[in-house]
Amino acid sequence: MFRRTLLRCIICIAVTGVALNDINNANVSVMVNDTFQKSSNRRLYCMVPFIWTPTFLPQYDAIRKTWGKRCDVLKFYIDPIIGDSQAGYFDVRVNETAKATLPEDVVVVENIQRPWNKCNSKSDSETPCRHIWEKLWRSWILMDEIGELDKAEWFTKVDADTYLFADNLKRFVDDKDWRPNEQHYFGHVLMHRIGKDDVNASIVAGAAVFFSRATLKSLANILKEFKEGEVRKGRQDCKDDYTSEEEVVTAVCLKKFIGLEAQTTLDADGKELIAVFEPEDSLTWNRSEQGEWWYWVNKPKADPQSGMELHQCCGDRPIAFHGYKDAKWFYHLENHFYGANLPVDEDENKQPIYAWRNPDQTKLHISLRG
């Protein structure tokens, strides 16, 4: 609590000892407001889909001790089956003892029917099984029913491997002058699925997707109409399904039933505020060198009025960085951006190294990561 600065501006690269300018002539900084107050009129509810299994618990602890502190409400939505093959699997719907072990910020989505630990698709040999769409649509209905949608003005579904900057999200919404009673569905917008043979919708990437309260209430009302046993037949259907493509079906449902299009989170310089891949990697991406792989497809290259280049990674006031499977990076980032002094267990839930797209350039950026 010794830090008094209102605003910290960190040149990321200063920490790595390598000037980004040497690489592609950009100047990347990250600005956060570490005295940002929680607020009563524009609260942010952070909803983290989670599985209660020993392997993921370091991530749960890390989120609570780091970026999760800046959410006005932080809750983890879990499947009713908890445990693992070693400790055993327990269904908290029938085992009160197991249920009593869960902390207060964990919400059990009891209606989930597909178990995460016994995949019902042959192509899904690895657990957890990929039924995240069912988990989400049932969570949104549950949140509406138990009054969670009245606890905030803005909502995010944020993945457990995303580092979120709640202060910058609130600032973004303020700058846009958006209101919670208007329809807003926003984040990093992907456009590669637009087309008559595909979903024909822009999609907010699932790493961190944001909604106004009005939009989530509308969405919950759409989802309540789902009939048990009825599943999606085509890509443009809004129904239950066994799929991990939650962000795709969400986009389809919002477009189909309320005509809502995804809105981007670009800053005034046209830069992305959400990095859907590790920012160390995304920072080095150059569209003309990479070519139009799905990440870039259909994204406008330039602003039609100003001619300014769009969609480059990353703006100064980022909203989310995605791709931290290993909890230790949350502590590193919290210490780095917010001047915290949290201990980092370098050996904690060690995850395999990432496959970077630009491995040579990326390695120059990553001394922050050990």
Ligand X SMILES: *[C@@H]1O[C@H](CO)[C@@H](O)[C@H](O)[C@H]1NC(C)=O
84 token code pair: 């693992």
DSSP type of residue 262:
P
CB nearer ligand X, residue 258 or residue 344: 258
**Least CB distance from residue 146 to ligand X, whole Å?**
24
**Nearby residues of 370 by Cβ (< 8 Å), 6 or more positions away:** 346
Amino acid at 39: S
User: SS3 for 5?
Assistant: coil
C-alpha to C-alpha distance for 225 and 236, rounded to whole angstroms? 17
C-alpha to C-alpha distance for 306 and 137, rounded to whole angstroms? 40
**Least CB distance from residue 139 to ligand X, whole Å?**
23
User: SS3 for 84?
Assistant: strand
**Least CB distance from residue 263 to ligand X, whole Å?**
14
CB nearer ligand X, residue 4 or residue 196: 196
**Least CB distance from residue 95 to ligand X, whole Å?**
4
Neighbours of 41 (CB within 10 A): 6
CB nearer ligand X, residue 244 or residue 312: 312
**Least CB distance from residue 161 to ligand X, whole Å?**
26
**Least CB distance from residue 325 to ligand X, whole Å?**
27
CB nearer ligand X, residue 37 or residue 123: 37
CB nearer ligand X, residue 24 or residue 367: 24
The residue ranges that bind ligand X (CB under 6 A) are 6-7, 21, 24-25, 27, 29, 33, 35-37, 90, 95, 97-98, 101, 196, 200, 286, 288-289
**Nearby residues of 360 by Cβ (< 8 Å), 6 or more positions away:** none
Q: CB–CB of 296/285 below 8 Å?
A: no
C-alpha to C-alpha distance for 275 and 291, rounded to whole angstroms? 18
**Least CB distance from residue 147 to ligand X, whole Å?**
27
CB nearer ligand X, residue 11 or residue 231: 11
CB nearer ligand X, residue 29 or residue 335: 29
Closest residue to ligand X using C-beta atoms: 196
Q: CB–CB of 311/227 below 8 Å?
A: no
Residue 330: which H helix or E strand, with range? helix 328-338
C-alpha to C-alpha distance for 105 and 287, rounded to whole angstroms? 41
Place of tokens 């839930």: 349
Strands 154-158 and 7-11: unpaired
**Least CB distance from residue 10 to ligand X, whole Å?**
10
C-alpha to C-alpha distance for 295 and 291, rounded to whole angstroms? 10
CB nearer ligand X, residue 202 or residue 212: 202
